[in-house]
Amino acid sequence: MLLGTRFNEFIGESPVSVMVQGTLERVFDREKLQQVFDHNAVVQYTKEITFSQCVYIMSDVVFQVSPSVGAWYKTHGDELSVTRQAVYDKLKHIELSTSAGLVQYSYAELLPAAKVMGVRPRPLLAGYRVRVLDGNHLSGTDHRILETRRHRAAVLPGQALAFYDPQWDLISDMIPCECGHAQERSLTEEILALICRRDCLLADRNFCTTRIVFGIDRANGFFVIRQHKTNVEWQPRGKKRCVGRDERGRRIDEQTVILTDSQSGETLTARRITIHLDKPTKDGETEIHILTNLPAKDADGLKIASLYADRWTIETAFQHLTEDLRCEINTLGYPKAALFGFALAVLAYNVVSLVKTAIRAVHGKHFVEEELSMYYLTLEVAQVSRGMNIAIKAKHWNVFRTMSVEEFAETLVEVAGHMNPRKYTKSKRGPKVPQPKKISGKKIKHLSTAKLIATRH
């Protein structure tokens, strides 16, 4: 092993923490982070506090090593030459393009290591890069900003669209937006700028607009998008035909359609896949319609239905960002600071995903997908990181930055071999018990728990 004896004790006790910290050290290379800043910053510049220092601060908050930026400064303030207010001022001015560039950088840095770990997953669609697009509105923050203090309503610092690569469980791109009320389709130009040739985009009906559908096709990309009732003009061509049943036994129909861009007069031949549901949705719908321009020889109707089902994987990613990583920091009210925090949470998610890939190489796919608890994994990282960084000085972590991609991947897999899987398994609960009808608390407003328990028998 390239790490040497200094890491042995922590590898034996908490290999996951070593893997996460080592990956962070590799990604947080100061020179590379400065390149991200220089390439993406438009107005902001470095004076007394660097972009890499901002990244280090926010990573501790995201991994819950520190509860807030203020708490971090109280512990580490002597490491900086600026005041706490200066730190907040720097964070609230980090430009959206810089936050987006940080996510792109993490994907480009970690994907090569995932590809050489010996557990290359099968592509969802051979010959295409499949990505899922969805949005995440950040929750309301504390009313700390002067203009927000007189309002009881939640104040929203913004939203972000994310491009998720389900094959590698990595988020490749983020589109941040400061307006919490903005519609997702208002970011159409930003979405289309990230479409490359042979990309296949999976998305919900919020993104089913004429501009997006035709824009993807013009970029030589492909789409699998749930049809919106009114946003795209279409006409049937030929009869609807049944192409079989999916894994859940639902009937799948297919029909050729012509899509029309009324502004330009362009037309586009596509397929309309219909999934007949077992039970109506909450809106009373009994069918789901999916539009796609994928060639039938590459993806038949059953494959399209299966691909659309994989869209829900991004919901799992957002759930982990919310529950296991602090993607929403309610003390960061300024939109740019809140969105930078979200970008750091996305980067942290990518780091943990790479660690999961190393664990998968040793302990198998079933353990990672069915038994591994992200909660216990990130909890241990938060508990161990501070003591580990005191015991192992910063200069010794530099070894992770000097490794080749192959050496880095091999080291993570080797450390994962020391992991005790039982420490990180999910706690399985029994079936849900129906909740009893609640007794009103209008008259009796307080109850004694001890007296209630005494009536149990």
DSSP assignments along 39-65, one per residue: HH-SS---SSS-HHHHHHHHHHHHTTS
Q: What pLDDT does 61 receive?
A: 84
* DSSP-based three-state secondary structure for 71: helix
Q: What is the pLDDT of residues 223-275, one digit of tens each?
A: 999 999 888 999 999 899 999 998 888 899 999 999 999 888 899 999 999 99
pLDDT band, residue 356 (cuts 50/70/90): very high
Give the right CATH number for 120-317 from 2.130.10.10, 1.10.3720.10, 3.40.50.720, 3.90.350.10.
3.90.350.10
Q: What pLDDT does 222 receive?
A: 96
Q: What pLDDT does 334 receive?
A: 83
Contact (Cβ atoms closer than 8 angstroms) between residue 280 and residue 293: no
5 contact partners, CB below 8 Å, separation of at least 6: none
Query: Is pLDDT of 351 > 70?
Result: yes
- Residue 448 burial (CB < 10 Å; 0-12/13-18/19+)? exposed
Q: What pLDDT does 328 receive?
A: 66
- Out of 191-195, 420-424, 432-436, 447-451, the most confident range is 191-195
Work out whether the CA dihedral 110, 114, 116, 122 comes out positive or negative.
Answer: negative
Question: No. of H helices and E strands in the chain?
Answer: 18, 9
Contact (Cβ atoms closer than 8 angstroms) between residue 208 and residue 227: yes
Mean pLDDT of all residues in 438-451 = 85
CA-nearest of 199, 195, 197, 273 to 211 is 195
Q: What is the pLDDT of residues 188-210, one digit of tens each?
A: 999 999 999 999 999 998 899 99
Burial 279-288 (b: 16+ CB within 10 A, else e): eeeeeeeeeb
Query: By percentage, how much of the chain surpasses pLDDT 70?
Result: 98
Q: What is the pLDDT of residues 45-74, one digit of tens each?
A: 677 788 888 888 888 888 777 888 888 888
Query: Is pLDDT of 327 > 70?
Result: no
Query: Is pLDDT of 187 > 70?
Result: yes
Residues in the chain: 457
pLDDT band, residue 326 (cuts 50/70/90): low
Alpha-carbon span 427 to 355, nearest angstrom: 21
Mean pLDDT of all residues in 378-407 = 85
Radius of gyration of the chain (CA): 25
Mean pLDDT of all residues in 379-394 = 81
β-bridge pairing 222-226 and 199-203: parallel
Map out the domains of the chain as residue ranges.
Answer: 5-96+325-424, 120-317
The DSSP 8-state label assigned to residue 209 in this structure reads -
pLDDT band, residue 385 (cuts 50/70/90): confident
Q: What average pLDDT does the chain have? A: 87
Q: What pLDDT does 68 receive?
A: 85
- Higher pLDDT among residues 440 and 29, named by residue: 29
Query: Is pLDDT of 1 > 70?
Result: no
CA distances from 60 to 41, 95, 154, 381, 382 (A): 23, 21, 26, 10, 8
First-to-last alpha carbon distance for the chain, in angstroms, is 60
Query: Is pLDDT of 343 > 70?
Result: yes
Query: Is pLDDT of 221 > 90?
Result: yes
Alpha-carbon span 64 to 93, nearest angstrom: 23
Mean pLDDT of all residues in 117-124 = 86
CB atoms within 10 A of CB 237: 12
Query: Is pLDDT of 75 > 70?
Result: yes
Mean pLDDT of all residues in 339-351 = 90
Mean pLDDT of all residues in 435-444 = 82
CA torsion 244-247-252-256 (nearest 10°) is -90
- Residue 322 burial (CB < 10 Å; 0-12/13-18/19+)? middle
SS3 percent helix, strand, coil of the chain, rounded to 5, is: 45, 15, 35
